[in-house]
Structure 1
Amino acid sequence: MKCFLRIRFAAFIFVAIVGASIIANANATEIDFDTEIMPLLSKAGCNAASCHGSAAGQAGFRLSLFGGDPEHDYRTIVRELFGRRVNLAHPNESLIISKPTARLEHGGGDVLDPDGEPANTIASWIAAGCHRLQVRKLDRFQVVPQEFVADAVPATLQLKATAIFDDGLERDVTPQAVFVSQNESALVVDELGVATVTAPGRHTAIVRFAGSVAMVSFTTPIGSDSIVLPETARKNGIDDEINGTLQRLRLTPADTTDDASFLRRLSLDLTGRLPSPTQIERFVGNDEATKRSSMIDELLESNSFVDYWTHLLATQLRLRKPGNDAVAADVFYDWLKERVADDTGWDEIASSLILSEGDSHQPGAATVHRFFATAREEAEYISEVLMGVRLRCANCHNHPLDQWTQDDYHGLAVIFAGLERNQVVRFTGRGTIIHPRTGASALPRIPGDRFLGQDRDNRQEFSQWLTRDDNPYFAKALVGRVWQSLMGRGLVTPVDDLRATNPASHPNLLERLSRHFVDSDFKLRPLIRLICDSDVYQRSSSPLGTGSIDDTRQFYSQANSKPLCAEVLADAIGDVTGVADDYHGVSRAINVVDRASSSESLQFLGQCAPGENCSSPSGSERGIASKLHLMNGELLNAKIIDSDGRLRRMLRDDIATRDLVREFYLRALCRPPSDRELADWVERIDASEVERKHERCEDFLWALLNCHEFTNNH
């Protein structure tokens, strides 16, 4: 018994001495798990999605994706499997080293050099006791240069990554950083940060370190000659930003579009409606230098603008009928329409949505809370629609490509958990959200900012944070949607995915427009006016000259062609043919509130389903079902042959073929036919037999309403 006690006492003394040695060594070396060990595992690819960073991990070993959760990874490495992954007595025999160095069988192969600095650093950390010291936190991560412009390809440069910590330490972390090209066919970045540009254009690379990311932009000319822009290429600050990029790329911008094309584009973008032949003739015949700006103002103040932009915002807000309650949807739509008519600030609209309570059958925004069955669904909605970020990616794990954590996701859900979502919406405060990682109730939290007090209504505090002038998301989220609607492509694509690893095509422009939006009290009309009054918006959709380069990379050297949305296309067909529709008592498709019960024609034309995220670029191609419906469906054919339609009336009045062709060209394409087009159509249509001529006129109108020039805003 005494012998046993002596052995146990000796063992205790040995462990105490070793432990004291480990602690002393740890204090001496201060190897930090979060900022030194985790980046090495990321560099080796251990926490990539194809390896242990996948949702299920690999071979029973799971790390957080790209090291997004160091606390989880520390527990997994040090404490799981009774500590078998680390060997304090023999660090180099630890599984965390022997596997990636291929000393033991490893599915990922040899990803660490057994004699290299990363393996030695991990071994030293284990020898020091494999503590999570957290001696410092990463304060800033930067890569230089942030932007690289070269005169020709190939071009090579060395990137340098620097970590600045909260204790004042600055460290060159280029060897530990992860470099990822966004387009490896045009840009290659090796593991030491040497970047080689192999194709002209603008390309980006992502650089990651310790959960932070930075972007580097590489630009090389597409064109061969330097360009000198005419004075007409600059109308406001938007043009300055876009033209600067075009000059670096040596892309010549297209000429300003003609008056008729401008009016068609503007009218469709601002009112969702084709201009009438009278409007076109009056505008084209106006010689005033300010007529375009005046027309912008005129349309912005029209009732048609209110109708169309209420429709657009209702779609972006994913308006739908809660259950079978059509009254609630109608009331919400009317409330939104009043806000658009009064040019109420978007900050006030957003606050009303967040804070709304009361009877959803009374004028107000309370219906929005009834769109969702759960608080988590509302949190995802709020983050995507009002913040422009995809917080839903942080539901099951920290966001792999952004800063958002599970605490952010479930903390935002808690803010809306206390709502009772019946006809009368009220905050009861009784809801809870279980955090999947801890199994306990999640704490209310403003995403990326701070935790809030418990057992209270935190919506007011969240709303105030969201709509602050300096909020990094709120203004950009709506600015991006407005820009995409008018220009056919978002500055950030998708528009609801704002993050460092999805950079804006023109970041300075996005900042500039967002500041203008804030300075204009978050009002919609001043922002739209600024964009429409720019030369960039008013450019032709055709490149300048036969030798110019078609801007397929979307640098805005020319206007984008945008397919008309289902509702606008249906209304345009009705306006041209003179045959109105009846959508359950509503004559215009854009005024339909309940899209769930709208006509099959609109659904075939690609109508956004109620409640769906319809933030994809409007420049996407129309689907095959829509094209077939236009070619063969009743939507067109019935209107073309309608006895009260415009075509039949003109034929009964024996209108000359030349005049008939001109009339429909003006109504559909908003321009007169060219001499060649007119001659061709007259030759094809005119026939001796009356019936035959009627059929050919029907074919002419069918062809006109199916052509790309009509079905697109260009």
Structure 2
Amino acid sequence: IEHVLETLRLRAKPPAEDGVFIRRIALDLVGRLPSREEYDRYLSDPSPDKKFRLIDQLLDSDEYVDFWTFRWSKWLRIHSIPNEPEVVSTYANWIREQIRTDRSMKSWIQDLLLATGDSHRVGPAGFARMVDGPRMQAELVSELFLGAKLSCANCHNHPLARWTQDDYHGLAAIFAKMERGRVVQAGTRGEVIHPRTGEVAVPKIPGVRSIAIEEQPLSSFVEWLTGENRLLSRALVNRAWAAVMDRGLIEPINEMGDSNPSTHPILLERLAESMQHQDYSWRAILRQIVSSDAYGRSGLRESDSHLADYYVGRKSRALLPEVLMDAVSDITQLPDQQLKPYKRAISITDQSFQSPTLLILGRCQRLFNCDIPSTTGSLVAQLHKLNGDWINHKIASKEGRLHQMLASSLAPLDIIEDFYKRALAGSPHEDEMLYWSQQLSDVALEERSSVLEDILWSILNSPKFQSIE
């Protein structure tokens, strides 16, 4: 990154202020806002290594496990199967354990692809049950673990990448004989018909070679995928980078290949090599990325947003719908009842779970291609946030944080300062505090609660609150 900046004669932005950094890192690593206590402690800590200690603390927390179980549940498209609730719970709990123990991703990906047994009891057996047939399984495997959109080669050779129809249907043929009932097992029947030839497709490692039936195609593919080639480590590193840096080193993250080169190819190769040397540790690669100068830089002005690709500074990005929903609950101190049986939106592991508010906020309801929220920033979402009961009820509730603070006789300006620090990880500017002070002084004492409700409403509806700076 530094080499590219020097070549283009671009000057990197300075490190982000402490308040901006702690808010960013907490939202990225554990999916929540920093608490007021965490904020105060971090800003008052003079030690030079406090950033790295904070990163380690977050990565070692139970909240990290919860958040990345949620994210991997989305990427793996975990969803309920009618009359079989055990499948989702068993599968998601297994994913949680892999993340909690920081098990080698190479090992647990091998388990996902090779697992057999009762999917009500064997967690990774759920992987085969999340798709409808071998073609969809080939598409999911290629997008997640090869960073390749092989679906474009279903009806014809990929128009831009190297993938061919033979690659697509050959990979699908590897999964053709798998039985996907409650008990997942290798079967003796099942085939994929190649649309161009009208004949049974030959199992094939994409872009490499065909596999003879006697070789055990699935085992041969998994051995190749998790072997010495870097396709898997590149795909995982690119996904991790995109998750915390807003965009991948190759974008889109599921279209990696010679026709779509990386913005920083040397960096991608070094991170992929690092992941291999660290035994495919997801926690370690996240630590490496968020500890970098590039991650910790201050934000770019809107007029300079085109420089974000070079990592001159950080571009603001919208909160995930689930993270936004939880953030509003945390600030108002009122949980969402519509999430039951889940306690928080980021604990949802079933992608078919229905929530009207999450749908309006942009939660993708499709089971495929859901890396980007579908309606974030839409007029419906904005009107729901501005005028809907979801936020207004939480603000006005006598059980909420605002009215509890008013009942404690806390000074109005202190209440405003507290909400700024909780929601935005910073104090209001002098002109903002002057404005709010004037608003409060212009009304009778008994009407101040209404003004404070309006102030909290404006904070929760601000672009700064609803994004990561």
Shorter-chain TM-score range: over 0.9
Partner deviation per Cα, 1:463-516 (whole Å, 9 max, x = no partner): 110011323x21111111111111111111110101111111111111111111
2:273 aligned with 1:515, yes or no? yes
What letter matches 2:350 in structure 1? Answer: D
Return the TM-score normalized by structure 1: 0.64
* Residues 561 and 619, structure 1, Cα contact 8 Å, conserved in 2: no
Compare relative contact order (CA 8 Å, sep 6+) and give the higher one, 1 or 2.
2
Partner deviation per Cα, 1:163-205 (whole Å, 9 max, x = no partner): xxxxxxxxxxxxxxxxxxxxxxxxxxxxxxxxxxxxxxxxxxx
The aligned counterpart of 1:145 is none
Shift of 1:553: 5.3
The aligned counterpart of 1:355 is 114
What letter matches 2:53 in structure 1? Answer: S
Determine the C-alpha separation between the residues in 2 that align with 1:368 and 1:322: 12
* Residues 362 and 375, structure 2, Cα contact 8 Å, conserved in 1: no
2:19 aligned with 1:260, yes or no? yes
The aligned counterpart of 2:246 is 488
Task: Pick from 517, 538, 541 the counterpart of residue 296 of structure 2.
Answer: 538
2:383 aligned with 1:628, yes or no? yes
The aligned counterpart of 1:574 is 329
Task: Pick from 585, 589, 594 the counterpart of residue 341 of structure 2.
Answer: 585
Determine the C-alpha separation between the residues in 2 that align with 1:558 and 1:258: 13
The aligned counterpart of 1:707 is 462
The aligned counterpart of 1:332 is 91
Determine the C-alpha separation between the residues in 2 that align with 1:607 and 1:619: 7
The aligned counterpart of 1:562 is 317
Shift of 1:457: 3.8
Q: 1:456 to 1:507 in 2, by over 3 A?
A: closer
2:175 aligned with 1:419, yes or no? no
Larger fraction in helix: 2
What letter matches 1:606 in structure 2? Answer: G
Q: How does 1:283-298 map to 2 (within 5 A)?
A: 283-298=42-57
Q: 1:346 to 1:277 in 2, by over 3 A?
A: same
* Residues 307 and 313, structure 2, Cα contact 8 Å, conserved in 1: no
Determine the C-alpha separation between the residues in 2 that align with 1:686 and 1:493: 51
Determine the C-alpha separation between the residues in 2 that align with 1:623 and 1:668: 22
The aligned counterpart of 2:369 is 613
Determine the C-alpha separation between the residues in 2 that align with 1:558 and 1:516: 24
Identity among equivalent positions (%) equals 37
Determine the C-alpha separation between the residues in 1 that align with 2:14 and 2:308: 18
* Residues 250 and 256, structure 2, Cα contact 8 Å, conserved in 1: yes
Determine the C-alpha separation between the residues in 2 that align with 1:670 and 1:615: 27
Task: Pick from 448, 457, 463 the counterpart of residue 693 of structure 1.
Answer: 448
Larger fraction in strand: 1
Determine the C-alpha separation between the residues in 1 that align with 2:81 and 2:217: 25
Determine the C-alpha separation between the residues in 1 that align with 2:375 and 2:249: 15
2:147 aligned with 1:392, yes or no? no
The aligned counterpart of 1:597 is 353
2:57 aligned with 1:302, yes or no? no
Q: 1:596 to 1:611 in 2, by over 3 A?
A: same
Determine the C-alpha separation between the residues in 1 that align with 2:351 and 2:197: 41
What letter matches 1:444 in structure 2? Answer: P
Task: Pick from 130, 134, 145 the counterpart of residue 375 of structure 1.
Answer: 134
The aligned counterpart of 1:497 is 255
Shift of 1:588: 0.7
SS at structure 2 position matched to 1:425: strand
SS at structure 1 position matched to 2:126: helix
Determine the C-alpha separation between the residues in 2 that align with 1:505 and 1:323: 44
Residue ranges of structure 1 left out of the alignment (5+ in a row): 1-241
Determine the C-alpha separation between the residues in 2 that align with 1:349 and 1:628: 43
Determine the C-alpha separation between the residues in 2 that align with 1:523 and 1:429: 36
Determine the C-alpha separation between the residues in 2 that align with 1:350 and 1:665: 43
What letter matches 1:510 in structure 2? Answer: L
What is the root-mean-square deviation in Å for CA atoms of aligned residues? 1.9
Partner deviation per Cα, 1:193-239 (whole Å, 9 max, x = no partner): xxxxxxxxxxxxxxxxxxxxxxxxxxxxxxxxxxxxxxxxxxxxxxx
SS at structure 1 position matched to 2:107: helix
What letter matches 1:507 in structure 2? Answer: P
* Residues 69 and 349, structure 2, Cα contact 8 Å, conserved in 1: no
* Residues 429 and 456, structure 1, Cα contact 8 Å, conserved in 2: no
The aligned counterpart of 2:411 is 656
Shift of 1:689: 2.7
SS at structure 1 position matched to 2:29: helix
Return the TM-score normalized by structure 2: 0.96
Q: 1:400 to 1:688 in 2, by over 3 A?
A: closer
2:197 aligned with 1:443, yes or no? no
Aligned length: 468
Q: How does 1:101-500 map to 2 (within 5 A)?
A: 242-454=1-213, 457-471=216-230, 473-500=231-258
Determine the C-alpha separation between the residues in 1 that align with 2:446 and 2:75: 48
Shift of 1:453: 1.6
Shift of 1:403: 1.7
